[in-house]
Amino acid sequence: MDLRFDRVRLLLKDDFYKLQDAKVLILGVGGVGGFALDCLYRSGVKNITIVDYDIFEKSNQNRQLGSEALGVSKVKHLSSIYPGIVAIEKKIDSNWIEDFNFTEFDVIIDAVDDIKVKVAVAKKVYKKLIMALGAGRRLDPSKIEVSTIWKTHTDALARKIRAELKKEGFKKDFKVVFSTEKPISKEIGSFVGVTGSFGLFCCAEAIKLILKDKKEEE
């Protein structure tokens, strides 16, 4: 028995083993996705796949886990920090989303910034999706909330995504993590207290979804 997870087992009892059996896909492992990965891994989720195409840059070091490895592929470096995860070094675009097999995963966490990608992912996997919205330009993690895409407010990214979904006649709902804090700067500034908290919220929602789905299967 792996003693690393004793405290999690004390909290979840037999439900802990549902985490061990679950498969989670994280799209984007930057300031939000990296913390979601760390949280899931430390909570006992064994089957985690990460997808990203970027390398770590100096500007990432204020908020991204693993960013000391400058110039190194994010997914390759993170797979050395978190042994056992599956790393896919691919650019996430509409073509990749169309071709990729999402069916084996219980939860998909979308932590990318591209609106077209987010819309394409939502249309394909909305039933098991947790989408992170705008985490930049904010300082107050207490303003983070969980809702569904059609009930969000304040967040400009959410507004643009809703507009694109409406254009395509998409009316289904899915879970999102967003902030009610109004952006405090025009520039794309970021604070790890918010971006990291977004990742932790995504992790917590993923665990809730895993436990809920597994109970429904029983």
pLDDT tens digits, residue range 174-210?
A: 999 999 999 999 898 999 999 999 999 999 999 999 9
Q: What's the pLDDT at 216? A: 72
Measured between alpha carbons, how far is 190 from 136 in angstroms, rounded to an integer? 5
Q: Determine phi and psi for 116, rounding to 5 degrees.
A: -60, -40
* All structural domains of the chain: 3-217 (3.40.50.720)
Place of tokens 């009316």: 171
Task: State residue 134 phi and psi, 5-degree precision.
Answer: -70, 115
Instruction: Output the pTM of the full model.
Output: 0.96
Half-sphere exposure of 108 (CA within 13 A, CB side): 23
Q: State the Cα–Cα distance between residues 207 and 199, nearest whole angstrom.
A: 12
Residue ranges of the chain whose pLDDT lies below 70 = 1, 214-215, 218
